[in-house]
Structure 1
């Protein structure tokens, strides 16, 4: 959900069309290895033109972490990024990082682990205008803090960040171990700003994956971009040489922590929920149709009005009406309860795009009148520039930026 409501469901066309799963969402399991964890004997290739973890078929678990850089030494930061890259090569291959490895993932398969890194706007220049690492001149014009949208209730302590790492795997212990390893290697250079655990992918990033369901019970991501959509990825996801040279082959990442007001949603009858989303709850079909992938007909009429209400999530976020698209790979979360006993649950929205202004921001603004907004709250926000992949054994994350 492009903002799951404000944009979480964004590019796909419904909370259900935007985020979701074909099986009912399940509660997160403890962060420990399990005999039920799906084994992935073949590691995901680390080396490549693009970083893994973007168009890679979405795994089942997420550990996302944002960092503040605590050193003013450019050399120390570069050395850490090089050490992170070397560690990531080993971790994604199912190996330990060295003799001082923390050990909790020993004996576990790679589990499809991917690690994806991004650079926030404040890495290039702090909020008070300090250019700590001589990077200000290389900050892409598109890499700016996201605007405040109507209804935002952002918590600064879980927003932003100088750097981020997205760890995805099919075993939560493998993902957590990977993040723990990078945190340990970054001591004295970075410190954790905020983290988010996620379960149950809410988008499909490959045509081989069935559309999942989000915690609202709807299929989400029906119209999401897929890894097989080569020309669409070039148009909407990958940064080109003509955009920012050092970022070519990379992408911009937007994250939003979107709390769903589950208890309020559960009081709404299913037909009214469908009108809010614009899709049927069981099949995931556009209203007025029967099957999930039937054409979305915005001119169809039902009774005295349009089959798909003009304030529904699908109507406002569908690429046909929003005029853009993104590749979403968000996750559900349940982080306990609040002081009133209500579930702190929802969608950790993740979207990759070629330009945030013509991607997430454009869709989110379109969702200002979304009927879903009364059932969600955007609690955190961040944007990062994800550099291209490490193209050979000697390459490292960010080399194109720091050696430009």
Structure 2
């Protein structure tokens, strides 16, 4: 067996604990003994099947790295769009299996032609790569109301641009998009390789509208994972919907067959809400520990609610504090966004931390790239965000600079391209 590289030690490749039905495949690193191909081949390290009832990258145990991209479709040709989705499906299935993006490896093709894979993932394992696709509202009707692809009649009622929330300072260049691709992996180069090659394949049909790199997952999607911390230093996503919660997934994540006649093609899929949330961490860092915990409503060390217990102890919102006010303040984050105060709304979050250099004022351009999968954004996300933007003390330290919503179709079956039912 070849020696473990520094990338292998630092970049991830830690297999998640077995999740029933997830289809995780573990295998030893293997390759041609004669050295005929530098590509390690399929089935190396940690892989997740691309095809299935649902797209991978939703209930899949959240990986550590992200490359997310939103695209504008630059053609009005429906057949060209379908051809792109077909090509993307084939490339995604290969890459998530640890293979090159194209049917021929990055150095095995004709020397006088561009290779059909960019090559930066040569020698790297699959690293738990998942690739998830979504369709934005503008794919159905563009900004001028045009139905470019004959899809307007199949636009679900809930697939609408999100309303403007108090405190939003959205940059058009960081919002919206006809299509999106979420690539998650344990190795950042594997995730970047996936997006880069899909961009290459889409040349002439799509252009990148915006993209976001992320590291350090800010939520868990499986009970096998510990709750991570965000840049404020607090545990994040304690009450997240988990892969093992079958009923919660049915209630809050997967679109039902009878949810919307126009969106029947989306049954078994989900909606993805993406929000780029900049944190004013320099200001936050100057607050006392007591103030920080009061704003969040949990202790910074263990993540336990201020009403006592451990991280997963139910919160006692009625418990009085020494000042006669509730020990969990009325404007604390956990109180404002709790399902009990939002009609039972829950989400499956898959967000990531980002640090994109510095701002014009010299502070870190850093924060949370919020990703959440919901059954209906109008009931599972919008009310919670409205409450948070109006009543949550934490919003003083947050600025939302990008926003988008996408319909994520169900998984592709054998011989199908992603989203095929939409175009049937």
TM over 0.5: yes
1:345 aligns with 2:366: yes
Q: Which residue of 1 aligns with 2:76?
A: 72
Contact 1:33 1:172 in 2 (8 A): no
Deviation at 1:360, TM superposition (A): 1.1
Deviation at 1:33, TM superposition (A): 4.8
Contact 1:198 1:333 in 2 (8 A): yes
After superposing the two structures, state which structure 1 stretch, 42-51 or 328-337, moved more.
42-51
1:254 to 258, 273, 297: 273
Q: Which residue of 2 aligns with 1:361?
A: 382
Q: Which residue of 1 aligns with 2:409?
A: 387
Inter-CA distance 265–236: structure 2 relative to 1 (3 Å threshold): same
Q: Which residue of 2 aligns with 1:83?
A: 87
Counterpart CA distance in 2 for 1:113 and 1:33 is 15
Counterpart CA distance in 2 for 1:57 and 1:38 is 13
Deviation at 1:34, TM superposition (A): 5.3
Q: What does 1:84-123 correspond to in 2, within 5 Å?
A: 84-98=88-102, 99=104, 100=115, 101-123=117-139
Runs of 4+ in 1 over 4 A off after TM superposition: 32-35
1:194 aligns with 2:215: no
The CA deviation string for residues 154-176 of structure 1, in whole angstroms up to 9 with x for no partner, is 00111000000000000000000
- Residue 378 of structure 2 aligns to a residue in which SS? helix
1:245 to 241, 261, 264: 264
Q: What is the root-mean-square deviation of aligned Cα atoms in Å?
A: 1.0
Q: Which residue of 2 aligns with 1:155?
A: 171
Counterpart CA distance in 2 for 1:318 and 1:382 is 23
Counterpart CA distance in 2 for 1:129 and 1:260 is 35
1:328 aligns with 2:349: yes
Counterpart CA distance in 2 for 1:107 and 1:309 is 52
Q: Which residue of 2 aligns with 1:38?
A: 12
Contact 2:12 2:64 in 1 (8 A): no
Counterpart CA distance in 1 for 2:95 and 2:7 is 16
Contact 2:307 2:317 in 1 (8 A): no
The CA deviation string for residues 298-328 of structure 1, in whole angstroms up to 9 with x for no partner, is 1111112101001111001011212210100
Counterpart CA distance in 1 for 2:318 and 2:340 is 12
- Residue 258 of structure 1 aligns to a residue in which SS? strand
Q: Which residue of 2 aligns with 1:18?
A: none
Q: Which residue of 1 aligns with 2:22?
A: none
- Residue 10 of structure 2 aligns to a residue in which SS? coil
- Residue 110 of structure 1 aligns to a residue in which SS? coil
Deviation at 1:347, TM superposition (A): 0.1
Aligned residues: 371
- Higher relative CO (Cα under 8 Å, sequence separation at least 6) belongs to 1
Q: Which residue of 1 aligns with 2:25?
A: none
Counterpart CA distance in 2 for 1:197 and 1:97 is 20
1:301 to 306, 320, 336: 320
**Could you tell me the TM-score, scaled by structure 2's length?**
0.86
Deviation at 1:240, TM superposition (A): 0.9
Counterpart CA distance in 1 for 2:56 and 2:9 is 26
Counterpart CA distance in 1 for 2:265 and 2:307 is 47
**Could you tell me the TM-score, scaled by structure 1's length?**
0.90
Contact 1:33 1:173 in 2 (8 A): no
Deviation at 1:294, TM superposition (A): 1.3
Counterpart CA distance in 2 for 1:34 and 1:42 is 12
Deviation at 1:65, TM superposition (A): 0.2
Contact 1:283 1:290 in 2 (8 A): no
Deviation at 1:42, TM superposition (A): 3.1
Deviation at 1:35, TM superposition (A): 4.2
Q: Gaps (5+ residues) in structure 2?
A: 1-5, 16-44, 105-114
Q: Gaps (5+ residues) in structure 1?
A: 1-31
